[in-house]
Structure 1
Amino acid sequence: MDGVSWSARAGETVCLLGHSGCGKTTLLRLIAGVERPDSGSIHIDGEAMSTPSRFVPAERRRVGMVFQDYALFPHLDVLRNVMFGLHEGTRAQRAARAQAALDRVGLAARAHHYPHMLSGGEQQRVALARALAPAPRVLLMDEPFSNLDRRLRDRVRDDTMALLREAGITAVVVTHDPQEALCIADRIVLMHGGRVEQDAPPQMLYRQPASLFAARFFSVLNEIPGEVRGGRIDTALGSFDAAGLSDGPAVVGLRPRDIVTASDGVAGTVTDTLFLGDLTQLRVRIAGHALPLTLHLPAPPTVRPGQVVHLRADEAAALRFPASPNV
């Protein structure tokens, strides 16, 4: 970790997003108290959990955790799996709280089933109920939907996030999937090499990325080198407003939807097409640019490889960055 600092407001869902090895899960384990930081501090509800002189163990932090593999005990039925995290009150009281948590996630009727009798989505909801039963101050979720197939993942994810928002639960979710982060987060903390690359609401992070790394993370990005002169960036695809950049080398970033075919545009040759259902992907080579540009057009393909088309960029959607050999 390198100077990582961020906070979550009450009831907010924060996504820790980044490639494998960037520090996401380590941060989650530090918050949970499973690992102890070498320096810095962690506070929950204003109470110091970890400082150079104080360390509150995991069992006293009132932090819930949902793991990637759910970590359900195969020899315990669903009710006893949920009861496992409850330590206060009589057995009857703990069973009642566990049953209420199962009811909350729509699994009251499955209380006496065993994990192997449940679908993947149901197992995920049992893990969620177990994490919610002790009424945690914050819920930590480590890639909680990654083990589900695509269609089921979307439904379970949406149901889970609706439940958390209805209950006003503060959640920190680790994911490497940018689309998932955009769907579920109130705020995204984008990690890169053990540090925070950008901390912002999803729309801002997507539309106003602070770096070329952040811009690349959320979609295919056409990166067109250029030169800033007199407030404009001159590139092989045309001239763009420099948006405050100093004179010198620069990069214009354009997502596939931000380049369209137009009769008055820059000429290029189609190298290949790909049908994507609602979209058609074109790759087009233009003079002065080393790599073909990628376009997504909302129509069936009407051109073929080898055909000449004319391209125009949406200048308002263009992203501008100073050129950097380190990115």
Structure 2
Amino acid sequence: MSALIPSPSPRPPAAALQIDGVSRRYGERLAVAEVSWSAHAGETVCLLGHSGCGKTTLLRLIAGIEAPDSGCIRIDGEAVSAADRFVPAQHRRVGMVFQDYALFPHLDVLDNVMFGLRAQPRAQRLATAHAALERVGLASRARHFPHTLSGGEQQRVALARALAPAPRVLLMDEPFSNLDRRLRDRVRDETMALLREAGITAVVVTHDPREALCIADRIVLMHRGRVEQDATPQVLYRQPASLFAASFFSTLNEVPGEVRGGSVETALGRFDAGRVNDGPAVVGLRPHDLRIAQHGIAATVVDALFLGEVMQLRVQVANLATPLIVHTAPAAATRRGQIVHLGVAPDAALVFPLPPAH
């Protein structure tokens, strides 16, 4: 009997978009510095960070609106920006949805969607545009003008226009930021459901960590033109690679400590330090990981703020220069000046070496 031949290991999915060592400088300012990451087919990647961190510049480089100073950008394996090659934006088959939607006010909805299909015969353009509007639920508004539509409808027209040419990658720059909070959540959820159903590879720029956690398969967190961390939302939130990454996703209590032999000593007690080397450290604790307990570290309530679902307390602990923020159940009766005791949720401490400039 012949020996069984083991099946080959499945290959990882090919990258629909690959960024390799991309940099872009404006005069003396380095806007994007040796950035590398990739997006697989059908994946939604969020570029997240504060204003000026380089995320919109990177989107423009992917779109072909600008050329990088160094590095390579590949779409479906094809180099579209490299040292010896630059494919113009109109030939990259990249769709883009801008923050302000960029709809033409003098064109009706159908003509706006048809605008990117000018190379096709008119009958084909009409059919493709109608199909795109049907996909986003706006077929009945085809002959309306943009100013007659709601903000959510204008966003969907912009999406239909971007999807009509069947792009290889869809780029979205703060696409939901112009909508009020209630409408934003609904339009965002509908848009992401549509993209996932269609298997679209999407790159979404946002400065909102909550939004990124809601929509991304993976988040590329940027800081001063560089990638701070590239991970799934769960990993980024629970296992941040730096103090910056930890503090980006929620309010963070920063408690000084000293690491010795795998543990860190703080005014709140001793915690596992993981792989952090001996020396000064910062322990990050999120407000919901601190709780009022029967026993624990004594603290004085500085003030209490009712936030609806939670009560936010600021409490002062001896030997700490800054009050801690604690989130508790609204029913908890607390008053200014009251002495309470703090407990810390197990494994909640996020331990980082003390930054040089901290």
Q: In the alignment, does 2:335 pair up with 1:304?
A: yes
**Partner residue, 1:235:** 266
The partner residue of 1:25 within 56, 67, 89 is 56
Within 1, Cα distance between the matches of 2:85 and 2:107?
36
Q: 3-state SS of the aligned residue for 2:275?
A: coil
Q: TM-score, normalised by structure 2?
A: 0.90
The partner residue of 1:128 within 146, 151, 159 is 159
Q: 3-state SS of the aligned residue for 2:320?
A: coil
The partner residue of 1:43 within 69, 74, 85 is 74
**Partner residue, 1:4:** 35
**AA at the equivalent of 1:241:** D
RMSD: 0.8
Task: Compute the displacement of 1:84 (Å).
Answer: 0.4
Q: In the alignment, does 2:134 pair up with 1:89?
A: no
**Partner residue, 1:172:** 203
**Partner residue, 2:275:** 244
**AA at the equivalent of 2:232:** P
Q: In the alignment, does 2:240 pair up with 1:209?
A: yes
**Partner residue, 2:315:** 284
Contact persistence 2:308–2:330 (CA under 8 A): no
Contact persistence 1:240–1:315 (CA under 8 A): no
**AA at the equivalent of 1:233:** V
Q: Structure 1 stretch 245-254 or stretch 144-153: which is displaced more?
A: 245-254
Within 1, Cα distance between the matches of 2:276 and 2:103?
53
Within 2, Cα distance between the matches of 1:231 and 1:79?
63
What is the CA deviation profile of residues 158-215 of structure 1, one whole-angstrom value per residue up to 9, with x for unaligned ones?
0000000000000000000000000000000000000000000000000000000000
Q: Structure 1 stretch 164-173 or stretch 239-248: which is displaced more?
A: 239-248
Task: Compute the displacement of 1:231 (Å).
Answer: 2.4
Q: 3-state SS of the aligned residue for 1:317?
A: coil
Q: Structure 1 stretch 168-177 or stretch 299-308: which is displaced more?
A: 299-308
**AA at the equivalent of 2:224:** G
**Partner residue, 2:184:** 153
Contact persistence 2:298–2:339 (CA under 8 A): yes
**Partner residue, 1:199:** 230
Within 2, Cα distance between the matches of 1:271 and 1:155?
38
Q: 3-state SS of the aligned residue for 1:154?
A: helix
Q: 3-state SS of the aligned residue for 1:2?
A: strand
**Partner residue, 2:3:** none
Task: Compute the displacement of 1:88 (Å).
Answer: 2.8
Task: Compute the displacement of 1:258 (Å).
Answer: 0.3
Q: Structure 1 stretch 58-67 or stretch 226-235: which is displaced more?
A: 226-235
Contact persistence 2:113–2:157 (CA under 8 A): yes
Q: Structure 1 stretch 195-204 or stretch 240-249: which is displaced more?
A: 240-249
Q: 3-state SS of the aligned residue for 2:35?
A: coil
Task: Compute the displacement of 1:298 (Å).
Answer: 2.4
Task: Compute the displacement of 1:93 (Å).
Answer: 1.1
Task: Compute the displacement of 1:12 (Å).
Answer: 0.1
Deviating beyond 2 angstroms after TM superposition, the runs of 4 or more aligned structure 1 residues are: 298-301
Contact persistence 2:306–2:330 (CA under 8 A): no
**Partner residue, 1:317:** 348
**Partner residue, 1:100:** 131
Task: Compute the displacement of 1:245 (Å).
Answer: 1.8
Q: Structure 1 stretch 209-218 or stretch 244-253: which is displaced more?
A: 244-253
Sequence identity percentage: 75
Gap runs ≥5 in structure 2: 1-31
Aligned length: 327
Q: 3-state SS of the aligned residue for 2:36?
A: coil
**AA at the equivalent of 1:60:** H
Within 1, Cα distance between the matches of 2:71 and 2:261?
45
Q: 3-state SS of the aligned residue for 1:16?
A: strand
**AA at the equivalent of 1:114:** F
Task: Compute the displacement of 1:315 (Å).
Answer: 3.5
What is the CA deviation profile of residues 39-69 of structure 1, one whole-angstrom value per residue up to 9, with x for unaligned ones?
1100000001011000000000000000000
Contact persistence 2:73–2:80 (CA under 8 A): yes
What is the CA deviation profile of residues 255-288 of structure 1, one whole-angstrom value per residue up to 9, with x for unaligned ones?
0000011121100000000111111101100001
Within 2, Cα distance between the matches of 1:173 and 1:231?
39
Task: Compute the displacement of 1:230 (Å).
Answer: 2.9
**AA at the equivalent of 2:101:** Y
Gap runs ≥5 in structure 1: none
**AA at the equivalent of 1:112:** R
**Partner residue, 2:289:** 258
**Partner residue, 2:305:** 274
Within 2, Cα distance between the matches of 1:110 and 1:2?
44
Within 2, Cα distance between the matches of 1:35 and 1:67?
16
**Partner residue, 1:52:** 83
